[in-house]
Structure formats: C-alpha cells, structure tokens
Chains A and B, each alone.
Chain A
Amino acid sequence: MFKQDMTALLRRHGLLFAFGIFLAGVALTTDTFLTVGNFLDVIRQVSITGMIAIGVTFVVITGRFDLSVGSMLTFLTVIVVDQHNVSGPFMAIIYVMIGGIVIGAINGLLIGFIGLNALIVTLAMLSFLQGLTLFYSGGANVNVQNAQNTWFAFFGRADLFGIPVPALIFILTAIVASFVLTRTTFGRQIFAVGGNETASKFSGIDTRKTIFFAYILSGLTTALAAIIMGSRVMGAQNTIGQGYELTVLAGIILGGTSLLGGSGGIWRTILGITMLGFIQNGLLLLGYPYYVQWLVTWVVIILAVWIDLGAKRGKVFA
C-alpha cells in the first residue's frame, strides 16, 4: 500500500524529486551552494530568461513558437542602452516597451491574422532583428555613459528588502501572468485556442486576436527583460541575447508545458527555468566547465519529459 502511494507520488512529482536529489548532492559537495547569497544570485541570473519565458509560455500554450525572443532581447537591450544616453532613461524604457510590442505585433499579425507558420515566421524575425541590431549599432558596442549615477541601475543592480530587484520584478510578473492565465477570460481563450482552434472559433473566440495578443505579451516581457539586462550590464553587445530562445524553450519544456498547446502554466515554466539555473550554477560551483551543463540539460530534459508523459499515461516507461 505504502509502496504504491510512493510510486504514484514519484510519478507525479518525479521531476521535483530528481531536482531535490540534485540540489542535495551539490549542497553536500560544496559549502557555498546552500547559501542565501548564492540562491539570490541564481534567481537574479534566471530573472532575464524567466521574464522572457513567461511571455513565451502564453505563445506556447496557443500551440505556437517564438524563436525571435533572443534576437529581440539583443535588439531591445541595444536600444535601451543607447537611448539612455540619447533620450534619457525614462524615454529609453518607453521606446523599448513600444519596440517589444511592435515586434510582437508583427509576429502576431503574420502568425495570428495571416496564419503563417510560427516556427518559420519567428525564425525570419530572428534573422531580421539581428540585421536590424547591426544596422542600428553599426556593429559597435553600446554603453551607458554615466553608469554609476543613473536611477536606471535600479532594475538590474539594486536590492529591495534584501532581494535583488530583477528577481522581484520577475516574481511579480510571474504572479500577474499566472493570474491572467488561470483566472481571466483571456487566459481561458489562450488555453482554448491551443486546445482546439476550430472549436474556439465556433465558440465565438477571436482566435486570431488571441494569438496576436499572446505574441504581444511575448514581446512585452522580452522588453522588460531587455530593461533588466541593460541595467545589469549597463552596456550591450550585438550578441548579448544569442541563444536565449533555446534556453527559454528548454526551461518551458522542462517545466512540462506541452509544445502541442492547450496545457501548461506559468509556475511550471518558472520551475523549469529555475531548475536550469541551479543546474548551471551547481555544476559551475562543482568546478565543471560550463559546457558540461549542456550535456546535463540534454539528459534532464529527456528524462523529465519522458517521466512526465509516462505519468500522464499511467506508466513510467511506454
């Protein structure tokens, strides 16, 4: 009886268990891992990926992709940093928010309203934004000129109640996003569109608009992430966001949101992203070179999804 309960529990929360074991393992071998400082460090480091992942989760639940977020992050970070010098921090933030919304809207227009394939459209956007960034910056790095005394430093560098501000912004956004997704009509529409687009249309849902707004959210959270990034680094290179789209997706998948759409959630995403963050941090603290974490990520993703699927089907291995 007890054994049965245990296996059932393991199946349902296998991922969390495995993660717990990993954390315990690292904590036993290094003494710096289990410190508040390190914990806050990780949360701060994942806050950028996490912010983006929150927006992308909406898109993924509608059954679509957004591979343009990495390039978008680069582009918007370059803008926010450069405009900080030109128009001041306030306007820079406004510009970047508008930028994120506009890019999201273009994606949303092509994918939601015209009905083009999301994978390819956002790939095209990835390439286009890379070009646009280089065009804007002329390939040069941009830097905030008075990094030491601008209130812009608040977003990426400050602490509030002993917690890093980026982590606070991240958690706050997550709470709001989770509320929107689970408790509002818009959230319900997102799930419906991902679950069955035709049936949603027959239910009077404007599926095109729903998809459109999901991409806008993805653009918006990426813009917020760019503000944090710009503030944290006080500068930007033209490659600063490279590869973020994949980390974000890996985190979302690890959290258990299905790429087929119709299911998933913000807290799952946060769990997935944080796990990735701790894996990276733990391995670095154990002294492994950074690329070992890639190998581990591979294994963890496959096992996590496999166990998760198995649990849903009522057996661990198909």
Chain B
Amino acid sequence: MSTPNKVSFLTPIKNWLLRNHIWVFFLVVFGAFSLASPYFLTVNNLSNVLTQSAFIGILAIGMTLVMINGEIDLSVGAVLALASALAIGLQDSIGVWPAVFCGLLSGVALGALNGTIIALSGIHSFIVTLGALIGVRGLVFIYTGEDALMVSDFSYTEYPEIYLGPLSITAMIFLGLAFLFQWILTSTRHGREAYSVGDNIEAAHDAGINVKRNKIINFTICGGLAAVAGILLSMRLGTAEPNAGKIWELWTIIAVVLGGVRLTGGYGTLWMTIGGVLTLAVMRNGLRLLSTPNYVELMVMGAVLIMALLLDHFLSGISRKKTS
C-alpha cells in the first residue's frame, strides 16, 4: 500500500473551516451589526430576525435536500404562493384547517410532479423547475384572478403570534424541521441514499438504490416544505398575494450556497444551510436597522455573495469547475 496521507495538526482546523466557514462569516456579520446599531442586539430584534428567516429557511431545507441529490428547484417561490392562495381562498367554502391541508397537498403534489418529470424524462431539473416557476405562477394568477385573497376571519393571523419565550411558533417550526431533516439526512436510509445519488449516481444505481424514487421523494419534500412556508406566510399576512414569494427561489439558493452546500450534489448539511439562512437574515435586518437605502442593500448582497464564493474558493484551494 502506498504511503498514508500526510496529516498536519492544522488539518482538522482546516477541514472544519472548509465545512463551516459560513459560521465564521455569520459571527463577523453578527458582531459588526451589534456594534453598528444599538437596536440590533436586543431580544426583541433577534426574535424578529429568527421569525423573518423562517420562510426562506424552510424553503432552504427542501432546497438543500434537492441539491444534495445534485438537482435544483426553482419553483419553490411559486409553489409557496399557490399553497398560500389555497389555504386562504378555500377557507370560506371548506373551513380553515381543511383549506390549510389543501394548500399543503398542492405543494406536495407539485413537488411530486416536478420530481416525477425529472426522474422519468431525464430532463435537467433546472429546466423542469424553471418551467414550473413560470407555470405555477400562472396557476396562482388564474386561481386568484390576479387579486390578493384575504381571510374573512382575521383570527387566522393570530396563530403565528404564539411565542415560547422569544421563539415564535414560526421560528420553532423552522428549527424543528431543520433538526428533523438533518437527522433524516445522517441517520436514515433515505438520507444516505440522497448523498450517494448526488455523489455518484452510477454507483448508486449499480448498488440497487432506486435513484428515481429518491429524487421524487426529495422533490416532493421540497414542494411540501414550500407549501409549509406558504401557509405560514398566509397566517402572517392574512392575505395571499399572487406575487408572494417572487424571486424567493433566488434568495433561497443564495442562502444555501452561502452555507457551502454544493450545486454539484453529494455535499452539504442543514447545519450549513441554517448558517447561510441566518447570515442572510441578519444582514437584511441589520441593514434595515441602519436605515440603509435599498440600493446599498442590493449592492451589499451581491458583493457579499461573491465574497462568500471567493472565500470558499480560496479556502478549498480548488477551482470549482462548471456546475449545473
């Protein structure tokens, strides 16, 4: 056997940094805003940030699963809008919880549809879900007739105002789902299959793993989670906007990639994703507290994204070749 791999005492630190650089980034951003704004480091504000991050956060959980598979889902924003429209629009005819259930079902069904088309046709998920991003938005507009739908009973909007200390129910659902799916990823057959499919799809197939089923399940979960986010949003706003969640898929992808999950598949954890989601949420909140004009916010977001990529690039020292 050839010589064992060289190990220096720096290696574990470097490895940890490689996998968790987002948390270093998070701490820097967090520290900077704590110094810059007197209102940032307050329980009230941090509690708000966590709640605000939950929507992109829940979308990001599903996106992470799909990306570990080596795929992408661009339709999450539109699916969120449809679920939110159904959850509100159906309340008058079938009641609150059945309506919520229908909203959830719509996400699950669209996710399953995406996954099935991708698995059966072999068309790249970027294309299939780009189509869905456009088409599902069309469905939303047809269903809502272009208008925002409003709950008739505003007590619906009181649900998300349940708090456990500083934690809102929305934030708890986000964190709970993140822990649940992290456990599924590391400790169940489905989770390990997901990595193996994204990592080396031929090997997975040859090992008898049902690659198609694994992808369909992950897309279904992703759609379902998008619906969960949509329902929570409908409770928050009491209204379903036909344009809700527009370009949120981009924010979601940004958060996930910021966390270090690879678009090429096989690599990433929800721990990284949470890091990305929170960093993004803290940045947006902090910039608002500082009353930054929106153009600065947009420019800073762009710059930070590039910086995160550069950091990842130079830390790992390998040039990521093409993806997608």
Contact = CB atoms under 8 A, between A and B. Distances in A.
A54 interface: no
A113 B91 CA distance: 54
A260 B324 contact: yes
A131 interface: yes
A190 to B, nearest CB: 13
A309 B123 contact: yes
Nearest to A64: B322
The main secondary structure of chain A at its interface with chain B is helix
B98 interface: no
A117 B263 contact: yes
B269 to A, nearest CB: 19
Interface stretch (A28-36, A91-99, A118-126): A118-126
Contacts of A289: 141-142, 146
B118 to A, nearest CB: 10
Interface stretch (B34-42, B162-170, B296-304): B296-304
A63 B131 CA distance: 19
Interface in A190-240: 197
Interface stretch (B22-30, B195-203, B249-257): B249-257
A123 B303 contact: no
B248 to A, nearest CB: 13
Contacts of B301: 124, 127-128, 131
Contact of B128 (A63, A123, A132, A302): A302
Contact of A291 (B142, B300, B303, B306): B142
Interface in B279-297: 293-297
Interface residues of B, number: 49
A65 interface: yes
B117 to A, nearest CB: 6
B133 interface: yes
Contacts of A125: 302
Interface stretch (A6-14, A78-86, A149-157, A245-253): A245-253
Interface in B243-266: 250, 253-254, 257, 263
B43 to A, nearest CB: 30
A134 interface: yes
Given A117-B309, A299-B135, A302-B123, 11 more contacts: A115-B321, A116-B320, A121-B309, A123-B253, A124-B306, A131-B300, A131-B301, A291-B138, A297-B131, A298-B134, A298-B136
14 contacts: A63-B322, A114-B310, A123-B305, A124-B302, A125-B302, A126-B250, A128-B302, A134-B293, A260-B324, A291-B142, A294-B134, A297-B138, A302-B127, A305-B123
Interface of B: 117, 120-124, 126-128, 130-139, 141-142, 146, 250, 253-254, 257, 263, 293-303, 305-306, 309-310, 313, 319-324
